[in-house]
Amino acid sequence: MADEQQQAPAQAPAPTQHPPRREGRPPREGRGPGGGPGGPGGGERGDRGDRGDRGPRGDRGDRGDRGGGRPDIPPEIEIERLISDSLYLDNQAHAIVSRMRDMDSGTKSQLRRLYSAVRRAVRAPDGERQHEFVMLRARLAYTIARHGLRSLDQLEKLLLQVTRKNDIRGYERFKDLFEAIVAYNE
Same domain, 120 and 156: yes
Same domain, 112 and 162: yes
Residue 59, domain member (yes or no): no
Cβ contact 150:101 at 8 Å: no
Write the pLDDT tens digit of every residue in 108-143.
888 899 999 999 999 999 999 999 999 999 999 998
User: How many alpha carbons fall within 13 Å on the CB side of residue 141?
Assistant: 14
pTM of the full structure:
0.60
Same domain, 110 and 178: yes
Same domain, 112 and 34: no
pLDDT of residue 176: 96
d(CA 139, CA 170): 19
pLDDT of residue 43: 46
The DSSP symbol for 77 reads P
Same domain, 29 and 91: no
Residue 121, domain member (yes or no): yes
Number of domains present in the structure of the chain: 2
Residue 4, domain member (yes or no): no
d(CA 94, CA 180): 8
Residue 6, domain member (yes or no): no
Same domain, 102 and 174: yes
pLDDT of residue 88: 94
Residue 90, domain member (yes or no): yes
Averaged pLDDT in 10-residue chunks for the chain of 186 residues: 51 49 56 50 46 47 44 76 93 91 77 94 94 95 88 91 94 95 90
pLDDT of residue 89: 94
Same domain, 92 and 159: yes
pLDDT of residue 60: 46
pLDDT of residue 62: 46
Identify the domain containing residue 35 by its residue range.
13-52
Same domain, 28 and 112: no
d(CA 39, CA 78): 44
pLDDT of residue 73: 65
Same domain, 84 and 48: no
Same domain, 96 and 37: no
3-state secondary structure of 55: strand
pLDDT of residue 64: 43
- The per-residue pLDDT of the chain, averaged, comes to 74
The DSSP symbol for 116 reads H
